[in-house]
């Protein structure tokens, strides 16, 4: 028997803990506050272009923008605030899965 109220109460405890410890943040606000304080932000895209939702080798893509554009769409950092980008390239492509 599914106990909806018991599950809700357990999830509410997790929620309260995450909020009280500052583990849930408005990351767009967080990033822009850091930029306004002249802090440096290092952003890493781990999936590479071939897995990018828009430019990757469909259907073997992820659900996000893995290129430098993901900084703007994912973190809300405007292009005018990006000072330096570094690209790492490999000479071959490895797909997520061929079955």
Convert the pLDDT of each residue in 28-79 to its tens digit. Answer: 999 999 999 999 999 887 677 888 888 888 888 888 888 888 888 888 899 9
Is-contact 85 68, C-beta < 8 A? yes
pLDDT tens track for 43-52: 887 677 888 8
Q: Would you say residue 92 has pLDDT above 80?
A: no
CA distance 73 to 31: 13
Residues 6+ away with beta carbon under 8 Å from 49? 55, 56, 66, 67
CA distance 98 to 94: 10
User: What's residue 99's pLDDT?
Assistant: 55
Report the predicted TM-score, pTM, of the whole model to 2 decimal places.
0.63
């Amino acid at each position: 028997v599914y106990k909806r109220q018991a599950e809700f109460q357990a999830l509410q405890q997790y929620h309260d803990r995450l909020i009280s410890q500052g583990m849930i943040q408005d990351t767009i606000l967080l990033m822009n506050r850091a930029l306004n304080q002249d802090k440096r932000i290092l952003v890493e895209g781990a999936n590479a272009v071939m897995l990018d939702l828009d430019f990757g080798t469909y259907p073997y893509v992820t659900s996000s923008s893995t290129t430098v554009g993901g900084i703007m769409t994912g973190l809300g950092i405007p292009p005018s605030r990006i000072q330096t980008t570094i690209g790492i390239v490999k000479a071959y492509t490895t797909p997520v899965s061929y079955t």
